[in-house]
Amino acid sequence: MSTFFLFACRLLSTAKKLHLIAEGYLRDGDEEAAYISYMKYFNMLSFIHKKPDYTQYKVTVQDMLGDNAANRRTMDKLEIITDSLSKRYEKLQPSTAVENSNINSEQISLPVAVNSSLSPSEEYARLGVISCEELYKRMQQQSVLVMDCRSSVDYANSHLSYQWAFNVPEEIITPGMSAGKLQARLSSKDKASWASRSVKESVVLMDWNSANVQSAGTSPIATLLDILKNWDPDVSYRAPIQILDGGYEYFIVLYPSYSTNPCIIKPKINNNDIDTIDDIEYPSIKDITMKEDILNDLDAKENKRPSINRANKPTNFRIQQNQIREQQSAHIKEIIRDQTALLQRAEENDRLLENASKKWRRLHSEGAAQSSEGQESLYNLLQLENESQDNQFENIRIRDMVIKYKDEVAQADDETTRHIESKIAERQMLDERHERDRLERERLLAFAREMKPQYKPPAEPVAPPTITPTEERPPSPIIEIEHTIPDEQTVINTRPVYDRATKPRIESRAAVQTAATRIRDFSPVIGHNVGRGLTGLKNLGNTCYMNSILQCLANTNHLMDFCVSNEYKKYISYQNKTNGQVIEEVAALIKELWNGQYKCVASRDLRYVVGQYQKTFRGVDQQDSHEFLTILMDWLHSDLQTIKVPRRLDNELAWEKAWLQFTKSQESMILHIFYGQIKSTVKCVTCSKESATYECFSNLSMELPQNANLCQLSQCMDMYFSGEKIYGWNCPKCNTKRDAIKKLDISKLPPVLVVHLKRFYADPSNNGAYVKKQNYVQFPLENLDMKPYIARVESRASTPKSYRLYAVSNHYGTMEGGHYTAFCKSTYYDRWFKFDDQVVSPLDSSNVVSSAAYILFYTWLPPLRSLQFN
């Protein structure tokens, strides 16, 4: 019998006792005590149901605690008690505080509505905890005393860089001791900090990851809280003592610069049961959802014309007939409302598309298609065509809603539905015409590309010219802006042939170290009331792919703050391939984007540096923004990889070993923000032997369904993290080749999760030429839940598992000719903006999701509201 099973039996025994105790209190008429015991029982039951092996022991659980019907009856009792207690306390509400003081507030906690007027910090204070963001504010004001309850060894390895934080080692905290005795055990230095607890405005306790008193249990932090609250009679605290929500582990992720070593790994808890569970990710092959099943399900839904039905029929058949009619009426009204909004958008887009198409054809006939005006016209045309395609998807969705409505409603309003269907048909005819126009334009573009003369680019990129201080800032604003600003190489509009194997020339260290002080050529265009973070980037000849990624990174708050505050300078490495040049140029550019003075700037120096180390980015041809992002992340990590992480040779878990091998025990802030880890599990079908490997990532590439025009991001995630059959795997237990199943899970979630939608693929029917998938992928702006895709070891981490979207890199057009933009949510203004090279404009959040989405930037890091600018 496994240790885990014995542990589960103890949980079941405890839950059963709680149920019996609650029943006893209920018979005795003690509703308060019965309520508490029932709540503890259901909390325990919920915990049991969430255990990984619940399905394996489901029968045992039902034998001891009853089936679903029995627990529903218990829940009914709890609801009756709750209602009774609420009514009783409502009657007591008019009474004075004297009467209420007789009720021990800690004896019972009734579910009450949260006062919506409470701020988050006030709500946290009510619960006895403080958020990391609130602690950070108090640290800035020097008004809080922080007691770190971790061990003295952990404190020495990493602690807060804050004057009023000190260590109360867990090894000296003993239950039952007084505050005086605890003070006597502190070091002389810490006794002075301890004495300030009576004069500081607030006191906060912190360990590795406790979230509240309940989660702390009988841990040292809970014991210390008890000592300060009940056994410290000589001190009167100015405010209730609080526990840091998420602990030190969470705080250093949010504010790494306030830690002496932000890359410290939380020490492993010696628990053989947990180690055994981590070794076996999937006890049964039946627990693994197969990729082929997901694909078959998607194909079946596509053939059935899936719809987003917002008015599903209720399952309660006792609803009155008039309520059903009201619901059906609301459904058809919603369809009409959606179609009216679509027609308004589509008609406006048709007008703009027609004008843009005429302009581009005129420029093409005049031989000016490759001019800056021609390129601007083309980019505008590509975006309008993408909007037209999104309208087409919306038209199909409305059509499917009408079909569903007619199927569900036996006596549908024929006149209404006929009118809607006629409008749908009209839109389809217009969409077909737009498609013919697009194909004709593609033909003309392809012909123009074939007529370009071939040339060989220079062996080395041309360095940007030296700008004197008087030339760095133009004396007066420039009103007219050219969409594409050519540099030294943009005069040659031909396709270069690059040798990617050629090693780049490495600058001397002396030259590199002057990068931070030399004058750069940003060619700024001064603007009026531009706003911080709203500066555009000039197109230096098909560099929109670079501009899109740089704007997304500039709106990554913690990276931006790291650069603008010059914190990055403490960690630059000059011993790597790029000699710290990339981070210097990225940081300098981000500072320009956030100084709030310029309408647009040029990234000439950064482009020169990246072209120096990667020939792909030197010329004037369009490149893949995902490739640029991946290489840039690797360079930035290498430029900052100076944070040494001491290895803990004893009891290292497999994922920890793999992580330290990847980092070579030296980490960076880029790794800290963007990098995660994937666990690849291979399980033998014959003997169930598991083998696991680990790989780090800075972004996840999601495959798109082949036959689904409309899909959800969650479906792409399901496909990526589903099981796949592999054949001929060398099973170490069977000692022969076996069939096996391979499954991916996330063993370490990054604070910033970058998701790449794989829109380009080699089409075998077109001689392997790359083709773009135009799937409309619906993705959430808030609450991207990653819990279904994490490994067991990550499920126990205290960091959040839900993400919010803050940036999107978009691609319009085809592989041969296209355009990139970025949609970014500014923390400074708390709204979305569109970054189209040097043009920055407000964006409604309803327009963020589109079929042009290519790379999604999600984060669980809280927004930085108090940004500091030099």
Q: For residue 742, what are the β-bridge partners?
A: 682, 724
E strands of 239-359, at which residues?
242-244
Q: Which residue has the tokens 């399952």?
A: 315
Token reading at 688: 């169930």
Query: Which long-range contacts (C-beta less than 8 Å, at least 24 apart) are formed by 313-318?
Result: 313/408
Whether 799 and 253 have beta carbons less than 8 Å apart is answered as yes
Which CATH code fits 120-266? 3.40.250.10
Copy the structure tokens of residue 286.
């039946």
Say if residues 306 and 376 touch (Cβ distance below 8 Å).
Answer: no
Q: Which of 544, 552, 696, 824 is catalytic?
A: 544
CA 146 to each of CA 174, 232, 267, 291: distance values in angstroms, whole numbers, following the listed order: 19, 17, 21, 49
Return d(Cα 586, Cα 603) in angstroms, integer. 9
One-letter amino acid of 269? I
Burial of residue 858, with CB atoms counted within 10 A of its CB: 0-12 exposed, 13-18 middle, 19 or more buried: buried
Q: 544 catalytic, yes or no?
A: yes
**Res 317: pLDDT:** 38
Q: Burial, 780: exposed, middle or buried (Cβ in 10 Å; 0-12, 13-18, 19+)? A: middle
How far is Cα 144 from Cα 138, in angstroms, rounded to an integer? 6
Which of the following is catalytic: 331, 811, 819, 824? 819
Residue 660, pLDDT score: 87
On whether the CB atoms of residues 512 and 580 are closer than 8 A, the answer is yes
Matching residue, tokens 């070579």? 664
Q: Sign (positive/negative) of CA torsion 843, 844, 845, 847?
A: negative
Q: How is residue 508 annotated by DSSP?
A: P
CA distance linking residue 658 with residue 652, whole number of Å: 10
pLDDT score of 642: 86
Q: Are 721 and 697 in contact (CB under 8 A)?
A: no
Average confidence (pLDDT) per 10 residues, the chain, 870 residues: 53 79 80 81 77 72 77 81 75 46 36 42 64 91 94 92 94 89 90 90 90 65 90 86 90 86 71 44 62 67 47 42 56 69 73 74 69 70 73 69 60 60 69 67 54 40 45 34 37 40 42 59 88 93 92 95 91 90 96 94 93 85 90 95 75 84 88 94 90 94 84 92 90 92 92 95 77 90 93 79 95 83 93 95 93 95 64
Query: Using CA atoms in the order 350, 356, 359, 365, what is the torsion angle rounded to 10 degrees?
Result: -90
Based on the residue annotation, tell me whether 637 is a catalytic residue of this protein. Answer: no
Cβ partners under 8 Å of residue 803, min gap 6: 753, 783, 784, 786, 858, 859, 860
In this structure, the dihedral spanned by the alpha carbons of residues 14, 15, 18 and 22, taken in order and rounded to 10 degrees, is -170
Q: Which CATH number fits the domain 469-639, given the four candidates 3.40.640.10, 3.40.50.720, 3.30.565.10, 3.90.70.10? A: 3.90.70.10
- Hey, which CATH number is domain 3-94, 3.30.300.350, 1.10.1040.10, 1.20.58.80, 2.40.50.140? 1.20.58.80
